[in-house]
Structure 1
Amino acid sequence: MSNIVKFFVAANEGAVDALAGGPNSSFRALSFGNFDAEEALLDWEAHLTGVSFESLVDRDFPEIIAEGDEGASVFLLSDALVNSLAVASDSEVRELALWWVGEKSVDGFEIELPVASVILQSLVDLTREELQPGTHVYCWTS
């Protein structure tokens, strides 16, 4: 479980530099906490793209850009996930949030629907508003 989860948009160099303490103030970062970010990225991609969770794991998704000795990591969100989020309608975001809450509940992890909705809608907004040529969406965890 990640204590702090931050999503941000950057060029690859900026993503690697974020490992030490998270994205700096020059990045618009979304901050959340207390969920397994790596597993969430797998869950969301599997649900949105129809590729199985296990298949994504076998293909080493999400890609780890940097890992620190203290437990911090930076993950690259795949183009498939980012593109799916960027074109998701409000109803698709709500449906994903409902599905994610149910999926985590089965695993014994309770996440409230309003929290799941805010996380996902904020990430959708970030992909639509901040993504520029030469940049990618990343997730920093600690």
Structure 2
Amino acid sequence: MSVIIKYFAAPTHEAAATVVGPGPDGIFESRTWGNFDPEEAMIVWESLLTDRSFDNLLDDGEPETVADPDDGQGPVILAASRTLQAALADTDHSQLLQTSRLWVEQQASEGATIDQDTAKAILESLAQLARSIEHGDRLYCWTT
């Protein structure tokens, strides 16, 4: 199964939801990746970067679903928590490298494979995007 994932910034949930059908390309600056579970990844990343447990974040409803018009059968927009957004923006290169290594190990323990260089590149690009977000804007994920 092929999964397309695009992370982007938008000023509001309503603005982010407007791109649920076509995706953010041409409307919002985005970073494109694929073939991992973005919802689980955002929880894992936040857990690793903030020392909160995966289960605690899951219980808190992270990440928030902003738009899901086809009830999980089509494109979905998720909002990264403000905590994850801040953690990505504030993390340094060594923390990103360590987080990517731990994410690769976690994926391997669940039978999924992600290349270390790819994991690092994903987190570096998201950190760069998080650092560029205007005050008040949020980090979102579009996936199909």
Does TM-score exceed 0.5, indicating one fold?
Answer: yes
Structure 2 unaligned spans of 5+? none
Q: Partners in 1 of 2:129 and 2:137 — Cα distance? A: 12
Q: Indicate how the Cα distance of structure 1 residues 81 and 54 shifts in structure 2: closer, same or farther if over 3 A, else same.
A: same
Q: Partners in 2 of 1:51 and 1:87 — Cα distance? A: 17
Per-residue deviation at 1:24? 3.3
Q: Superposition pairs for residues 1-142 of structure 1, below 5 Å? A: 3-12=3-12, 13-69=14-70, 70-129=73-132, 131-142=133-144
Q: Partners in 2 of 1:75 and 1:89 — Cα distance? A: 25
Per-residue deviation at 1:132? 0.7
Aligned residues: 141
Structure 1 unaligned spans of 5+? none
Q: Partners in 2 of 1:118 and 1:68 — Cα distance? A: 30
My pick for the range that moved more, 22-31 or 85-94, is 22-31
Q: Partners in 2 of 1:2 and 1:103 — Cα distance? A: 20
* Structure 2 residue matching 1:45: 3-state secondary structure: helix
- Note if contact 1:2-1:141 (Cα within 8 Å) is conserved in structure 2: no
- Note if contact 1:2-1:37 (Cα within 8 Å) is conserved in structure 2: no
Q: Which runs of 4+ in 1 moved over 2 A?
A: none
* Structure 1 residue matching 2:9: 3-state secondary structure: strand
TM-score, normalising length from structure 1? 0.95
* Structure 1 residue matching 2:21: 3-state secondary structure: coil
Per-residue deviation at 1:59? 1.1
Q: Partners in 2 of 1:81 and 1:106 — Cα distance? A: 23
My pick for the range that moved more, 62-71 or 115-124, is 62-71
Q: Indicate how the Cα distance of structure 1 residues 2 and 96 shifts in structure 2: closer, same or farther if over 3 A, else same.
A: farther
The CA RMSD over aligned residues, in Å, is 1.3
Q: Partners in 2 of 1:101 and 1:124 — Cα distance? A: 17
Per-residue deviation at 1:2? 6.5
